[in-house]
């Protein structure tokens, strides 16, 4: 029998308090009392039990009284109208620097209090726990993170192989980054030119929602071509604030992250926000690893556009320590008594040139290289890597 309209306000207050004390969002409270029109303490009624999964059917079809649609307020409470139903997604693609940028952004997100899930070319992680080992940069890995109910923020490295095989693991993302577009994996899966490669990488930035952001490398002509066809907001990063492109973008009032006077700086038009000095960021190896500075610019810009505070971004950049644990295979330097060993994952000419530039700033009596070419690359790419290696070592 439905007695909703006869319930005494004090009994309603008591029931609401019980649900709060026990901590249940939805609960059924069984009461035994002569009637509910008077407070329980007056009638001598008592609470029998509290159910975490109450039945709805008797309310929808009581034998007597008004039917009540109790399911509607429950659904409205669990899924409030206008509340986002998706977690934020930052997707990172490009030729070099994807994994480092992904890990740095994930570190930033974690420092801002979110439970982060991220995919990289060495595994799938939730917070700092590796869930799966392997090259996990495709849609199946993205799906793994997005299906995890504990993850509050996804940072997804998105490589060309997965896109060509089966697209993306998401329909829309909030922020997408293209680090650079260089000669790598050409001659595979019908991708023969840099324009072909750019077309594949552009899939990621084209998936950004209208009020989201694409972050592109202003020093890369292929990235700048992609910028012309995007329907979302676009921000840029550049290693030289005085390059014609960077100056033109600043004049247009665009947001550009630049490396200027030794600082990682975000420019909104002509207005500058200095985030941190490059030499204070361990990832840049004291400011010597220029290609790492480019990764830092992209990551800092992503954090800024998502709405993280400048001081929080700065702290994350200072506390991200490169090494075999945080950035496996990416410029890992091991110090021994009489020599140092550096291990790096560089596997294309652009990667080798980055290492060459870094080593030119390193004092050493001898520089000995042990190098390997990757089997599925074109002959000219392997020869080009060998030429650079011969100059370096």
Over residues 344-366, the mean pLDDT reads 87
In whole angstroms, what is the distance from residue 126 CA to residue 310 CA?
Answer: 25
What contacts 150, CB < 8 A, 6 or more positions away? Answer: 115, 126
Average pLDDT over residues 250-271: 92
Q: What is the model's pLDDT at position 187? A: 63
Please report which confidence band the pLDDT of residue 198 belongs to, taking 50, 70 and 90 as the band edges. confident
The pLDDT of residue 185 is 63
| Domain locations in the chain as residue ranges | 4-78, 89-319, 332-392
The pLDDT value recorded for residue 35 is 93
Using the predicted structure, report yes or no on whether residue 384 has a pLDDT greater than 70.
yes
CA distances from 181 to 95, 96, 260, 310 (A): 5, 8, 23, 28
Tell me which of 3.20.20.70, 3.40.190.10, 3.40.1190.10, 3.30.1490.20 is the CATH number of domain 89-319: 3.40.1190.10
Mean pLDDT score of the chain: 91
Interval 58-74: pLDDT, tens: 999 999 999 999 999 99
- Alpha-carbon torsion 116, 214, 288, 258, what sign? negative
- In the chain, which ranges are continuous DSSP H helix? 9-22, 40-43, 57-60, 71-78, 98-111, 139-147, 160-166, 194-206, 221-227, 244-251, 290-306, 310-319, 349-360, 379-392
pLDDT tens digits for range 284-302: 988 888 889 999 999 999 9
Confirm if 131 and 124 have CB atoms less than 8 A apart.
yes
| Percent of the residues in the chain that have a pLDDT greater than 90, as a whole number | 67
pLDDT tens-digit map of 13-45: 999 999 999 999 899 999 999 999 999 999 999
pLDDT score of 139: 93
Q: What is the pTM (predicted TM-score) of this model?
A: 0.79
Q: How many CB atoms lie within 10 A of CB 276?
A: 21
Structure tokens at 105: 């952004």
102-133 pLDDT, tens digit each? 999 999 999 999 999 999 998 999 988 999 99
Answer positive or negative: Cα dihedral of 195, 199, 205, 210: positive
At residue 304, the pLDDT reads: 96
Q: Please report the pLDDT score of residue 334 as a whole number.
A: 92
pLDDT at 258: 94
CB 243 within 8 A of CB 219: yes
Distance separating alpha carbons of residues 384 and 352, to the nearest angstrom: 9
pLDDT of the residue at 2: 94
80: DSSP letter:
-
The CA dihedral of 160, 162, 165, 171, to the nearest 10 degrees, is -100
Residue 189 has a pLDDT of 64
pLDDT value, residue 365: 87
pLDDT tier at 327, thresholds 50, 70, 90:
confident
pLDDT band at 171 (very low <50, low <70, confident <90, very high): very high
What's the mean pLDDT in 184-193?
A: 68
For tokens 């596997």, what's the residue?
Answer: 347
- Is 250:239 a contact under the CB 8 Å cutoff? no
């Amino acid at each position: 029998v439905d007695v909703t309209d006869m319930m005494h306000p004090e009994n309603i207050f008591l029931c609401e308090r019980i649900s709060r004390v026990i901590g249940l969002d939805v609960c059924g409270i069984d009461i035994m009392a002569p009637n509910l029109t008077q407070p329980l303490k007056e009638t001598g009624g008592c609470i029998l039990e509290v159910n975490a999964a109450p039945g709805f059917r008797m309310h929808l079809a009581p034998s007597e009284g008004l039917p009540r649609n109790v399911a509607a307020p429950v659904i409205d409470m669990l899924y409030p109208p206008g509340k986002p139903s998706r977690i934020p997604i930052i997707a990172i693609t490009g030729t070099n620097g994807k994994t480092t940028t992904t890990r740095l952004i994930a570190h930033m997100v974690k420092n801002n209090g979110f439970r982060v899930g991220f995919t990289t070319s060495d595994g799938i992680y939730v917070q700092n726990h590796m869930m799966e080992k392997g090259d996990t940069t495709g849609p199946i890995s993205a799906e793994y993170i997005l299906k995890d109910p504990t993850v509050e923020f996804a940072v997804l490295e998105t490589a060309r192989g997965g896109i060509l095989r089966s697209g993306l693991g998401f329909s829309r993302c909030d922020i997408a980054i293209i680090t650079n577009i260089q000669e790598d994996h050409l001659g595979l899966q019908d991708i023969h030119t840099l324009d072909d490669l750019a077309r594949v990488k552009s899939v990621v930035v084209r998936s950004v929602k209208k009020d989201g952001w694409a972050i592109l490398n202003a020093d890369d002509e292929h990235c700048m071509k992609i910028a012309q066809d995007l329907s979302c907001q676009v921000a840029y990063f550049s290693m030289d604030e005085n390059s014609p492109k960077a100056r033109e973008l600043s004049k247009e009032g665009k947001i550009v992250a630049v490396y200027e006077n030794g600082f990682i700086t975000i420019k909104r038009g002509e207005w500058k926000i200095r985030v941190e000095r490059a030499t204070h960021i361990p990832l840049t190896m004291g400011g010597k690893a220029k290609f790492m500075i480019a990764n830092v610019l992209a990551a800092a810009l992503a954090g800024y556009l998502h709405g993280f505070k400048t001081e929080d971004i700065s702290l994350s950049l200072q506390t991200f320590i490169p090494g075999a644990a945080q950035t496996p295979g990416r410029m890992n330097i091991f110090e021994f008594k009489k020599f140092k060993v550096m291990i790096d994952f560089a596997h294309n000419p652009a990667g080798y040139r980055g290492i060459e530039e870094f080593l030119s700033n390193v004092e050493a009596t001898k520089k000995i290289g042990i190098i390997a070419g990757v089997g599925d690359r074109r002959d000219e790419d392997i020869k080009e890597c060998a030429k650079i290696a011969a100059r370096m070592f």
